Amino acid sequence: MIVSLQPPFDTERFRIVFITTFDLERNRFARNLSRMESRRRISTQDALHPRTTRAIWRAVILELARTGYQALSMEQVARRAGVGKAALYRRWSGREAMMLDLVASIEFPIIAAPDRGNLQDDLLAYLTGAAHLFRRPLARRLLPELYAEMSRGGALGNALRDKLLGLKGLQLQGLIDRAIARSEISPSTDLRLASALIVGPLYWAWIIERRSFEGASLSFIAKSLATALSTSD
């Protein structure tokens, strides 16, 4: 005769323990899911917050100046901006989409061409503004990168060309139109050639020779340009 030493199986107790354990795990899962959804909502709100946007744009500009567009990475931008990489990819599919949005969203520094009453002084004011911009360390690093992308074409290059050259062209057109109205230059002056003549010396010195003009040199260039553009003998 075999005597069992195990107590009889308590079905009701097992059912109670099973249900209690199941309820605890279900509640724990629900709490974890709620926390995950809350974090996701907070993360999404951060990604859409204007302060986050400003931090991202600042990071893009600094990284672009540091590495150039060809070496620009979403990871470095996210790290510098202090956001998760996912915050960038929720907005943009990649760096080109991010750059296109940046070009459309922010105002780039444009050299003003104020009215100084005559062509030579207008030119000197414009050249002085350009020299001041080129002395800024960030501009010295960033603008050549933007011009390089413009020369490569594509969606980003075309967007940069439309934004930068469009605004620059408006300033130079105003300068030339005023000179025509004062009868300082011919009404038949070619706007594109005149604009290239005005900006050419500075950009050559700045981008190619890596030097800048100051005081007397700027005055000499302004006088030479006014003479070259003038209709007088």
Domains (range + CATH), the chain = 45-104 (1.10.10.60), 119-229 (1.10.357.10)
What does the alpha-carbon distance between residue 62 and residue 155 come to, in Å, rounded to a whole number?
21
| CA–CA dist 100, 60 (Å, integer) | 12
* pLDDT at site 21: 58
Is the per-residue pLDDT at 43 higher than 50? no
| pTM for the full predicted model | 0.70
- To the nearest whole number, what is the mean pLDDT of the chain? 80
Residue 230 in contact with residue 119, Cβ under 8 Å?
Answer: yes
| Residues 27-54, mean pLDDT to the nearest whole number | 58
Which residues 6+ apart lie within 8 Å of 214 measured at CB? Answer: 131
pLDDT of residue 52: 85
- What is the structure's pLDDT at 31? 60
What percent helix, strand, coil does the chain show, rounded to 5? 75, 0, 25
Residues 168-183 pLDDT 10s:
888 899 999 999 999 9
Question: What sign for the dihedral angle of Cα 160, 162, 168, 172?
Answer: positive
